[in-house]
Amino acid sequence: MRFLRLFTKGFFLIINFAVVLLFLAACMAPYISPAWFWPISFITLAFPFLLALLVVFLIGWLFFNYRYTLLSLIALLLGWKSISAFVAFKMPAGNKVATTGNTLTVMSYNVSQFGLYRERDSKYNRQAMFAMIKKQELDIACFQDFYTSEKKNDFNNREDISREMELPYRYFSSDFNRDGMQHWGSIIYSRFPIIASDKVKMSVGPRSESLIYADIVKNRDTLRIINMHLESYRFNEKDYSAIRKIKNQEDTGLKATKSIIQKMREAYIRRSQQADIVGNFIRQSPYPVIVCGDFNDTPASYTYFTIKGDLQDAFLQKGFGIGRTFTGLAPTLRIDYVFVSNHFKVNSFRKINSDLSDHYPVITNLSLIGSGKTVVEVNK
């Protein structure tokens, strides 16, 4: 009986130690670029599960041998920076915040081309998305995976949103186009005048997208809005089918697994390079910034910390829990963000649990508490 107790204790200590090592490795990810060592990025996907296991071990040892709680406790303390980026502890401020002349309501949303290629009726999907977006009474809207067309009997979303949402000023990247009539990319809409805008290529290649920015003027203060869509895994339906089979233990999927890992590896490396470009661009801004985007990476990643820098994460300021924003693959994926400089106070943050896209829209209300650069004349 004594041997069994010793064996059981030793077994759980070994498992606990292994979880600690993996957890601490995940906590090192923000400091190690995947371009240099890509395997560490895979561990970040397991971060929430490793965190949960550490908490379970911590509680379990309290009942059986409190001395071993130190193993998990020390790991949790060492990893606090990553934990505090992953979990928000603020109670939500509510859905509606009183607006004044000094506030801004901002949305970031991967609109998935307004359901252009979804199985459901794309016209219905688009109408429902428009209605949901309009209801938010936005001042700034940053959309990724945006589609618009100038073809007859197609959807001119670029013009229609400006008109229906009363957001007259905009800047569109148009990263890809077909026959000069159909366009894909990222877009910034603003209720306030845009005095400067441009795009910056984040990588090379035929499928590379751009970081876009627009300098807007509100109450004679200039603010820089930045929007981006970072490299995705580019999984196709065959890949998703393979993932489902592996998850359901219907297939070992060795060939499919190799293909999936290769795509993930390439995406991690490209995102780290994009994050370096974006981070440097943000820190060179002459104005207070609002950064929106679909990063395709979690808060435990190199991408997240490199772009965030000293900015505020609106979710961490006014959110609660883990803040999932992607509907597929795993229930722990927060990959859509709004970051703001310290010139802003975050009044509220919320997401809308809508299935109209594979991403949830995130919305924050901000107050400008530090003046941006004053402009004398606005060039419309």
Q: Mind listing the pLDDT tens digit of every residue in the chain (380 residues)?
A: 666 667 677 888 999 999 999 999 999 999 999 999 999 999 999 999 999 999 999 999 998 888 999 999 999 999 999 999 999 987 765 555 555 668 999 999 999 999 876 656 778 899 999 999 999 999 999 999 999 998 888 899 999 999 999 999 999 999 998 888 899 999 999 999 999 999 999 987 767 899 999 999 998 899 999 999 999 887 656 655 666 555 555 555 566 677 788 889 999 999 999 999 999 999 999 999 999 999 999 999 999 999 999 999 999 999 999 999 998 767 779 999 999 999 999 999 999 999 899 999 999 999 998 655 555 444 43
Are 351 and 362 a contacting pair, CB within 8 Å?
Answer: yes
Angstrom distance (rounded) from CA 303 to CA 228 = 13
Alpha-carbon distance 277 to 282, whole Å?
Answer: 9
CATH number for the domain whose boundaries are 103-374: 3.60.10.10
CATH 3.60.10.10 positions along the chain are: 103-374
pLDDT of residue 256: 63
In three-state secondary structure terms, 72 is: helix
Residue for token pair 């004398």: 376
CA angle, residues 193, 199, 202, in degrees to nearest 5 = 145
Burial string for 239-265 (b: 16+ CB within 10 Å, else e) reads eeebbeebeeeeeebeebeeebeebbb
Q: Can you give the pLDDT at residue 242?
A: 60
Return the pLDDT at 249: 55
Closest alpha carbon to 140 in 185, 221, 194, 211: 194
**Per DSSP, what are the bridge partners of residue 193?**
none
What end-to-end distance do the CA atoms of the chain give, in Å? 83
What distance in Å separates the CA atoms of residue 109 and residue 153, rounded to the nearest whole number? 25
Distance between CA atoms of residues 144 and 228, nearest Å: 7
pLDDT at residue 66, as a whole number: 86
**Run of H or E residues at 61:** helix 47-64
Buried b / exposed e along 189-199 (16+ C-beta atoms within 10 A): bbbbbbbebeb
The kind and range of the H/E element at 73 are helix 69-78
User: 């309009």: which residue's tokens?
Assistant: 134
Is residue 38 within 8 A of residue 268, CB to CB? The reply is yes
- Name which of 366, 25, 378, 373 is nearest 224 in CA terms: 373
Residue linked to tokens 């499928």: 207
pTM of the model: 0.90
**pLDDT given for residue 99 in this prediction:** 59
